[in-house]
Structures are given as structure tokens and as C-alpha cells.
Amino acid sequence: MASDTGKLTVLRIKAAKAGKHFDGGGLFLHVTGVGRYWRMKYRHSGKEKLLALGVFPEVNLSEARQRRDAARAQLRDGNDPGVAKRERKITLTEVAANTFAAIAEEWLKKQKPRMAAATLEKARWTLDDLVLPWIGNRPIAEIDPPEMLKLLQRIEERGAHETAHRTKQRCGQIFRYAIATHRATRDPTADLRGALTPAKVTHRAAVTDPAKVGELLRAIDGYTGSFVVRSALKLAPLVFARPGELRQAEWSEIDLDGALWRIPAGKMKMREEHTVPLPPQAVAVLRELQPLTGNGQFVFPSERSRQRPMSDGTVNAALRRMGFDKDTMTGHGFRAMASTRLNEMGWSPDVIERQLAHAERNKVRAAYNRAQYMNERKRMMQAWADYLDGLRADGKVVAIGRKSVTR
């Protein structure tokens, strides 16, 4: 191959044929059939080595000379520029793998088996819309408290104070995961305690006054909309499951003869299978609905497609149609209704909490409770259904397990 030792110029570079064309100080242009490559010959520790400096024309002559001079400066300091380049490349690779976005995605995958689908979807939305556009490409170990505060204040400026607090909590979980996996040394959100505007605590609207409960039940009985929706409204106070669990109920989960509804772990917020005892009143609602939807997958299918459950706003929309605004009653309010009244009536808080499928912090106690409380939960659910019948009939005295209750 041809070679030369004269100083290079732009014209000589463009006209250069295959071979090595030297510029001085070890720098040369290697022309091949596929491209023109800048290279530098140097010696370190008695060995001749070669350093890649880029490709022409992306790297022009002036920049190639600057890179050569920088490499020669490293040599004068006793360093091998080739080793330094490899170490720099490794560092950049590690930084790319340890950005907030990369670790957040890794954390989300870890949470998928234990987090309800709706919760996972909310977490992803929070990250994609509120966090990643600003700190997603930042190395997680370099994110500091002022940077996080600026991000959260941007959310606060919209008046979304509760969202800002939840975003801080979610980011804190990701930082702690990074610490546990040796990608960070501290959680910057921990230093922001008291820095955000306190979020106003809002309770889910629910009817709990017995007289008002009776009015609500009679309104449901008189609902003139879809039969499927009316059935969902009638079942909701009897089982007080979460709205998402109710609307996604499948016939395969329900044993009408055994009077049980077994909700799979994948549909539960706490990712544990949950069994709901069905009093005769609930079984009657389901048997009446079965001829209409029993041949399909979902107990309460969408009006638009039997292959999908009804939407999450359907029950709330029906309540609004009946005259119960969002500050009075919601689909989630049936849980608060049952919890409030049953606690006031003297039922064991442990039994109520287990029926609500709230998490038990102690795993040994949780396993015990699941078995221990089933019989009492069946009695409670039957007594609750009978109590609702009494309120629907305008407040007759009804035995509710441990005591007689009047409206």
C-alpha cells in the first residue's frame, strides 16, 4: 500500500488513495475501500500501539490533530491513551445503564408480579409524564435534592399538591432500589421532608347515615338504565369489593352453588387471592343476571363489547344519573359505607379488614387470619345483607350479628 510522510491538507485528504498518509506526531489517515480513518501510532511501556481517533469527514483534520495532541499529553504524564479511552467507554456505558430512566424501568419490572395492574399503570404514567422528561437521562447517583425539589415544584405549580407528594414517594422507592443494588448511595427525596406544600387529605365520598343508605338502596332498585349496570349497583353494597375488582369479575371466578367469589391474585391490589362469601341476596342478583351475560367471560361486560368489562366510570355515572353527586357517593364509597357501619355495630375490626382485603403487615398473622376469619366473615356478610334489606324497607330493626341495630 502507498504511504507518505508529508503534512496533510484538506485537498490531499480528499484526493488520497488507499494507504497510510502521515501528518506528524504519529497521526496518519488510513484510507481503505470502505472509509478514511484517523489513527495514531505511539509507544507505551516499550510497546508500539495504535489509537483510533475517528473517521473523516466526521472528524476533520483540525479535530484529529487536537485529539492527537491530547493523547501525546497523556503519554507525557505517563498514561496510556488507549487504556484511558477504553476506561472512558466503560464509564459511559455504565452511566447509560445507571440513568434514572433505566433503573426506574428495572424497578417497574420487579414490581409487576406484586403490584395490581391499575397501580402499575399509574406508576408508569407518573414516571413517563412527570419525571422522566426532566431527569430520565441523568445518572441516578448524581441527582441531588435541589434537582428533585425543582421537579416536584413544577408539579405543585399546577396546584397538584397530592400528585407532587405521590411522585416524591414513587421516586423515593426507585432511589432506595438503586441504593440496594449499589447504583446510588443516597435518596435525595429524604431531604425534602417539609419542603412541599401539605396535601389536603380528601376522603372518598360515601353515604354512611343509615337513613341515607336506605334511600340509596331504593334508588338503585328503581334505576332505569342498563340491567347489567343495575345488577352491578345492587351487588356493590353486598360485597363491597374495590370497583375495579367488581367490574372485572368473571363468571369462572364465581361459585353460585358454594356462594363464593374467588378473586385471583392478579386482580387484587395486594396481589393475593381473595375470597368473598356471597349471602343469598348476592347470589340472587347473580342468578338473575346469569341468563344475560353468563355465556360470556365477564359478569358485567361493556355495552360496546362483551369481550371487555364495563368501564371504570360506569357505576359512578349511574350514581350521578340517580342524583348522587361526586361529593355524596362514589363506587368506592360502598366500601367506606360497610366499614363505617360494621365497625360501629361492633364487628371485629380484624374481620372487617380481612373482608376489605386490606394488607396485614405481619405475614404469619395474615396467613392465620385468612383461615381463622372465614366462618365469621360469612356470618358478617349475611348479617350485613339482612341489615341492608331492613334499611331498604325503611329502617326496620334488624339483627346484625352481635347486636340489634335500629336506624
Task: Please give the positions annotated as active site.
Answer: 242, 269, 332, 335, 358, 368
Closest among 160, 75, 170 to 122, alpha carbons compared: 170
DSSP-H helix ranges across 209-279: 210-221, 227-239, 243-247
- C-alpha distance from residue 145 to each of 174, 180, 206, 237, 241 (Å): 14, 19, 39, 46, 40
Helix, strand, or coil (residue 374): helix
**β pairing state of 19-24 and 2-4:** parallel
Q: Return the exposure string of 373-399: e unless at least 16 CB atoms fall within 10 Å of the residue's CB, then b.
A: bbebbbbbbbbbbbbbebbbeeeeebe
Phi (first) and psi of residue 56, to 5 degrees:
-80, 135
Length of the chain equals: 407
Query: What single-letter DSSP state applies at residue 252?
Result: G
Residue 364: in which H helix or E strand, if any?
helix 363-372
Query: What single-letter DSSP state applies at residue 253?
Result: G
d(CA 291, CA 404) in angstroms, rounded, equals 37
Query: What single-letter DSSP state applies at residue 263?
Result: E
> Are the beta carbons of 253 and 245 closer than 8 angstroms?
no
Q: How far apart are the first and last CA of the chain?
A: 103
